[in-house]
Amino acid sequence: MEKEKLVLVGNGMAGVRTIEEILERDPERYQMTIIGEEKYPNYNRIMLSNILQKKTTIEEIITNPFDWYEEMGIELFINNPATRLDTKKKEIELQNGERISYDKCILATGSRAFILPIPGSNLEGVAAFRTIEDTEKILAATNTYKKAAVIGGGLLGLEAAKGLVDQGMDVTVIHLENWLMETQLNEKAGALLKEDLEKQGLKFRMGAKTEEILGEKRVTGLRFADGTELETDLVIMSIGIRPETTLAKDAGLGVRRGICVDDYLATSDPFIFSVGECVEHRGTCYGLVAPLYEQAKVLADRLTDHETTGYEGSMTYTALKVSGCDLFSAGCIQASEDIKTIEAYDEWNHCYKKVFIQDNQVVGTILYGDTTEENRFLKLITQKLDISDLNPIALLAAANGEEDASNDVTSWDDSETVCGCNGVTKGTILHAIQDKELTSVADVTKHTKAGGSCGKCKDKIADLLGYALGGEAPVSSKGICGCTDLTRDEIVLKIHQKGLKSVAEVYQALHFKNPEGCSKCRPAINFYLNVAFPKEHQDEKASRYVNERLYANIQNDGTYSVIPRMRGGKTDPQQLLLIAKAAEKYDVPLVKITGSQRIGLYGVKKQDLPKIWKDLDMSAAEAYAKAVRSVKTCVGKNFCRFGTQDSMGLGIKLEERYEFIDTPHKFKMGISACPRSCAESCVKDFGVIGVENGFQIYIGGNGGTTVQESHFLETVETEEEVIEICGAFLEYYRETGVYAERTAPWIDRLGFDHVKDVLLDETKRAELLAKLEQAGKRDEPWRQTVQDKDLQQKLYTVGSGESK
């Protein structure tokens, strides 16, 4: 029997979840086609703010990679949106003119970010925050521009604003209402949130109406209704979403604010269904993930002839993904004649709680500062429990240990929901653990989807694993990535114990879930192997980030920056001539002095990289690598009247000795000839300040988004002592650091006193230096690659789409 043709228009979270649910129920029922507008496979859109805050990567939010579509037998069209729906012919026309026929069609076209229709909204530098592409553009802008304005003080706008602050930008949030997140919070909670966000560096213009975006080609500022202006380089619009209904409307389907559907997600056409943010059900459109997944389950039941009571609407709740701002809002939070409230404010602990009650039932709640009781209130709301026997104090602060019990997931009823985003109950998780013999949080997520969206419930899943398995279960967030639950220390220990000498051996011997690994763990494993077996392990270029393979940093327009090494910031006329000739020959659009006292060539085409390096005939600075990147120096006593030591000479010696040494993260040095510290020595990973009797040594500084003043280690008399301590510091950091961990948090983790004891112990220092000498340096970039065409080709073709 020929399969029915099922076509999904929209490759987003709601639509693909519907396909997953259908495949679980009846995998042989349909011949499936998915049409996507973006160039990416299905990904977790709610984690975009984590990418902006650099807590995760694009690869990590991909929920269904391209291989999944192939394995499921799904025909996938990406970067090729549907442009026309012909309900009579039952055909869908794509942007490239291709026509796809269907027996049944699901519209999951999602929503669009709303852009204010005001003058200047089309200027360069005005962006939405809705897709991976939006996020990449915003991140690219943070490398060039310093002032940002976020229009909209809702959930997504605040997460975007915090991400921009984390990237070092001066950020102002413009909000039309008098308090933040006005649809989820009341005025008191909104004020507390604003206060906490201000402490984290955000600025606010409340009650401000934006009337014009200023600028000729690129945005330069905003003008408000009261005539005042705000200077800015970047504008993020985050003032809500609008259901994308164009395709449905043009096809003659019933559309109001969204695509109208019944309780079984059917549209006005019997062969067309709809789910997600584009849907209007009983007059309501939903923009949160949990209701969309509830719709997906109902539609999957309907399309596979499983019994279903239909979709009856959803109770929504919200949490903000910004550290230091714990809030929870659920249900109805508007008081009225029928809805009464109880509230409490603990000024000492900066906590606020408000409960909304109707007919002796909790119908809504707002928690700020302390959200530990969110599960208790969620249970009260969803199960419509009678609270007539509770007095206000007992309701606000659960008596007789009830609060503790409500947070212990092992004591919950099997019917209670653990993962709200995906609607997964405790019973479902326990049955999966037992029936499928699951042993990790990642396994539970794979088989039940619990923890696969916002990830807040992973600790509870771990508790259930421990409860079911009779012991403490590993939490996947401990692992270095989603491919394994093993920590850095566990992996390094097993590498030594088992004598593992390649990335592939590690994946096989340690039973990684993905036998190929991912872009997060491959570079880490390669680094740990380099440190563990510096002679035996052959550095695996394909496991390095693309920037390290190309010896250049990719820029926001797809071109690259080429930065030749200038040790200690010192150059000569011959180097300058080579740079000038190369810049002219390859039509380099920008030549700039970098913050590390080098000359950078920006805008180099990828195909020109080998040729320009050959013409330059200079070593590549490690401006792209997790390695010793740069040594910044002042001119020193040979030229400066305040200088007490030859800082430039010492800086050049340090750079010559330790350049091309791999480290867990970038490693920067600053060498100053006097306490005026012109090389900013006290915010470097390794800093030196010259004084009359020698050199003061500082370690663990960071001048990035989180500024960390370095720790004073010791004053030494000779340059040789400085070089030795630097080498020992480097090796100890290499041996004990977590990949992608800077020296500042590394020292915080190990303790400064411990690191100091190690470095100042002459025996231990000698041991560390000997190990570093064994490690040696990596091959100097481009000396061999510009002549080795096979290696050159490999560098350019293996995984060139990875992001740094």
Residue 704 burial by Cβ neighbours in a 10 Å radius (0-12, 13-18, 19+): middle
How far is CA 156 from each of CA 149, 226, 361, 494, 735, rounded to the nearest angstrom? 14, 26, 31, 42, 40
Residue 674 assigned ligand-binding role: yes
What is the 3-state composition of the chain as percent helix, strand, coil, each rounded to the nearest 5?
Answer: 35, 20, 45
DSSP state of 585: H
Q: Which of 671, 728, 731, 659 is nearest to 695 (CA)?
A: 671
Cβ pair 757, 728 in contact under 8 A:
no
Q: Which of 129, 123, 77 is nearest to 98 (CA)?
A: 77
Q: Residue 276 and residue 152: Cα distance in Å, rounded?
A: 23
Q: Residue 199 and residue 175: Cα distance in Å, rounded?
A: 18
Q: What are the structure tokens assigned to 271, written together?
A: 């062969």
Beta bridge partners, 57, equal none
How far is CA 772 from each of CA 204, 494, 657, 662, 727, rounded to the nearest angstrom? 50, 21, 11, 11, 7
Q: Which of 659, 669, 664, 663 is nearest to 777 (CA)?
A: 659
Identity of the amino acid at 520:
K
Q: Which of 328, 262, 268, 252 is nearest to 299 (CA)?
A: 262
E strands in 532-577:
553-554, 560-562
DSSP state of 124: B
Q: Residue 548 and residue 543: Cα distance in Å, rounded?
A: 10
Mapped onto helix, strand or coil, the DSSP state of residue 229 is strand
Question: How far from the centroid of its chain's Cα atoms is residue 277's Cα?
Answer: 23
Residue 682 assigned ligand-binding role: no
Question: CA torsion, points 704, 46, 444, 265, in degrees to nearest 10?
Answer: 180
DSSP string, 191-205: HHHHHHHHHTT-EEE
Identity of the amino acid at 553:
N
Q: Which of 455, 409, 451, 448 is nearest to 431 (CA)?
A: 448
User: Which long-range CB contacts under 8 A does 516-523 form with residues at least 24 apart?
Assistant: 517/483, 518/59, 518/60, 518/481, 518/482, 518/483, 519/57, 519/59, 519/545, 519/799, 519/802, 519/803, 520/57, 520/59, 520/60, 520/480, 520/481, 521/480, 521/481, 521/483, 521/484, 523/548, 523/626, 523/739
Identity of the amino acid at 243:
P
Q: Which of 666, 662, 700 is nearest to 525 (CA)?
A: 662
Q: Residue 747 and residue 437: Cα distance in Å, rounded?
A: 40
Residue 678 assigned ligand-binding role: yes
Q: Residue 694 and residue 715: Cα distance in Å, rounded?
A: 7
How far is CA 760 from each of CA 53, 371, 686, 733, rounded to the nearest angstrom? 37, 46, 15, 15
What spatial distance separates the first Cα and last Cα of the chain, rounded to whole Å?
49
How far is CA 457 from each of CA 340, 379, 450, 528, rounded to the nearest angstrom? 31, 15, 8, 31
Residue 278 assigned ligand-binding role: no
Q: Which of 11, 7, 3 is nearest to 86 (CA)?
A: 7
Enumerate the known binding-site residues for siroheme: 678
Enumerate the known binding-site residues for [4Fe-4S] cluster: 634, 640, 674, 678
Enumerate the known binding-site residues: 634, 640, 674, 678
